[in-house]
Amino acid sequence: MSIIVAVLVAPWGFFLSQAPAIQTLLAQRPITLTVSAAADLNYVFKEIGALWEKETGNKITFNFGSTGQLAQQIESGAPVDLFAAANKSYIEDLDKKGLVVSNTKALYGRGRITLWTREDSKLNPKDIKDLTKPEYKRVAIANPDHAPYGIAAREAFQSVGIWDAIKPKLVLGENIRQTQQYVETGNVDVGIVALSLSVNKPGKWELIPENLHKPIDQMLAVVKKSKHQTQAKQFAQYINGPKGRPLMKKYGFVLPGETVK
């Protein structure tokens, strides 16, 4: 009997002795972060994400869309680890509702809007007032009901007193990337898009004066229900760190304390 017991106990004792090593191994296994991000981050976050994946061995699944709709998804319980909004008000609202980790809130850049046309377009607007001219028949902006860049476009039109004149020409994109696609496909003549989608891409663009709309201060935060908060915090810091900041600047984002002339 004593021999049988010894045989049965030995494997269990070996497992217990190895438990710390197994736990360490499991903790080091690659994970996949789910990052919901405003559509203006499409290009830059993919580039930053690729660097982070290479350095850490972890993976990122990006969910790009309009900030308002992404915020609604988080409120509905969508499994998101990190949320990068195109306007800080959405992060602050989620914080009030207890849905993000408060001490992870951080500004990561200020967005700007541009007049954007295809490279082969005969139209070349220099001022948003030009869009009232008859040759501009269809103008795309992001839906101002839920997209911060659409809100900024509407504010710019209102600032120069042409909102009512422009409304009949408007084609609304669900997000700022779809807005640009309307121009790319020739379905509209011109679009008001993010500077981050205008630079480093074929097309003609003109920066819209920042004083025509409220600042597009963009903020991120770790979602409280995230199962990978440590890694989500690391990626957030990476975006605002020495590897991420130069890329954010490359794609036209205005970093805190900087301006675009």
Binding-site residues for molybdate sit at 67, 176
Decide: 233 and 222 in contact? Cβ < 8 Å: yes
What Rg do the C-alpha atoms of the chain give, in angstroms? 24
Query: Measured in whole angstroms, how far is the alpha carbon of residue 219 from the centre of its chain?
Result: 9
Residues 6 or more apart whose CB falls under 8 angstroms from that of 117 comprise 123, 124, 125, 183, 189, 190, 191, 203, 204, 205
Identify the helix (H) or strand (E) that includes residue 5: helix 2-28
Residue among 146, 205, 209 nearest 176 (CA): 146
Cα–Cα distance between 84 and 110 in angstroms, integer? 12
- Cα 38 to chain centroid distance, Å, stands at 3
Query: How far, in Å, CA of 143 to CA of 76, rounded?
Result: 21
Instruction: Give the C-alpha distances (Å, rounded to integers) separating 91 from 41, 70, 203, 232.
Output: 16, 11, 32, 15
Bind-site residues: 67, 176
